[in-house]
Chain A
Amino acid sequence: MIVTCPFCGDRPSEEFGVLGDAAPVRPADPAGDPEAWYDYVYLRANPRGAHREYWHHVGGCRQWLVVTRDTTTHDIAAVEPARLAKQTAPEKGEP
């Protein structure tokens, strides 16, 4: 599986570490709603199809990336540096 790092170019997936779901957004208030914190810390979507994930190019430029990958085919639709990627909160009702 080849991941095209925006800085390094085509690299084998072995050079990357995968953190998973890039959707969760850290709640602003440290003392806020425990439900929101529980969701943020523990709950991750595991969809079939397109999925945005955090990947770390640990064996290369060491950037955090957001990779949009189809979980059934491994086709990669987009790779963006995480610092430039838009954080998207999970839609209501999403597991």
Chain B
Amino acid sequence: MPEASTDPTARRLGPLAGLALPERHEVEGDVGITLEVPGPVSIVGVEARRGKSVTLSRRVKKAYGEMPKPNRGAGETVRLLHVAPDTLLCLAEDRAEGALHAELRELLGDAAAVVDQSHGRTLIRLGGPKARELLAFGTGIDLAPEVFGPGACAATMLGHVAVTLHLRSTAPTFDLIVARAFAESLWDWLKGRAGRFGYEVVG
């Protein structure tokens, strides 16, 4: 049995903990895809209550500097993805258990439903020069760089699994947020299609 930890984030053991192990599979001496499961990540869903759309935008702007436009992400330490009308998916790394939820509840609790999803969703980071090609196997959205550029986010289907995509940088680096119960299936799907490009799982 693992020893009890005093680390407040230690309880957040993701569903890919025993699966996303470092490995490298080259094709012609190269890899086109990198996969990583960063952790622990705090994930909180925010949805404005009826008539509170403006209140939500105003308070988010005041606290974090910007209310992202539809289908865009904004923010550094707290990332806010505007994935649906009056709905944000909020992400932060290296936060203590429940801290992001408490912060957003304090800020928006009377104007929005604020739900901690840190245990319910998993973040998979996908990078490498072939990342767009890989995603194109499984989603119908337009991934052309001039359409889906840095900062873009989308709620879509990937390999028949509902995911939220966020393009963090031009590198490109995509963050994929998926429901916990589908994480293993999506992980297998990603690795299965990454094989042809060569891939590396970063520990």
Instruction: Report which A residues bind B (CB closer than 8 A).
Output: 7-12, 14-15, 59-63, 81
> In the assembled complex, which residues on chain B have CB atoms less than 8 Å from the CB atom of A15?
140, 156-157
CB-CB contacts below 8 Å: B152-173 with A = 154-157, 162
- Interface contact B83-A61, CB-CB below 8 Å: yes
Contact of B85 with A81 in the complex, beta carbons under 8 Å: yes
**Smallest CB separation, B81 vs chain A (Å):** 12
Across chains A and B, the number of contacting residue pairs, with CB separation under 8 Å, is 40
Q: Can you list 8 A-B pairs, Cβ within 8 angstroms, ordered by A?
A: A7-B70, A7-B84, A8-B156, A11-B141, A11-B156, A15-B156, A59-B162, A81-B85
| Also in contact, A12 and B140, with CB within 8 A (given A7-B70, A59-B157, A61-B155) | yes
Secondary structure of the B side of the interface? strand
Name the contact of A59 in the complex, choosing from B71, B83, B142, B156 (C-beta under 8 A): B156
Give, as a whole number of angstroms, the nearest-CB distance from A61 to chain B. Answer: 4
**For the complex of A and B, 8 pairs with smallest distance between CB atoms:** A12-B140, A61-B84, A59-B157, A60-B155, A15-B157, A7-B85, A61-B155, A59-B162
Closest to B158 in A: A59
Contact B154 A8 (CB under 8 A): yes
User: Using a CB-CB cutoff of 8 Å, which residues 100-157 of chain B contact chain A?
Assistant: 140-142, 154-157
Question: In the complex, what distance in Å separates the CA atom of A61 from the CA atom of B164?
Answer: 10
Interface residues of B (CB under 8 A from A): 70-71, 83-85, 87, 140-142, 154-157, 162
Q: A59-B162, A60-B157, A63-B84 are in contact. List 12 more A-B contacts (CB 8 A).
A: A7-B71, A7-B85, A8-B154, A8-B155, A9-B142, A11-B141, A14-B157, A60-B156, A61-B85, A61-B87, A62-B155, A63-B85
Q: How far is the CA of A9 from the CA of B140 in the complex (A)?
A: 11
Q: How distant is B86 from chain A, measured CB to nearest CB, in Å?
A: 10
Closest Cβ of chain B: how far from A75's Cβ, in Å?
19
Distance in angstroms from A56 CB to nearest chain B CB is 12
B137 to chain A, nearest CB (A): 14
Q: What is the bound-complex CA distance between A24 and B162, given in angstroms?
A: 30
Chain A residue at smallest Cβ distance from B142: A10
The answer to whether residues A62 and B84 also contact, given A11-B140, A15-B140 and a CB cut-off of 8 A, is yes
Q: Nearest Cβ distance between residue A50 and chain B, in whole angstroms?
A: 25
Chain B residues near A63 (CB, 8 Å)?
A: 84-85
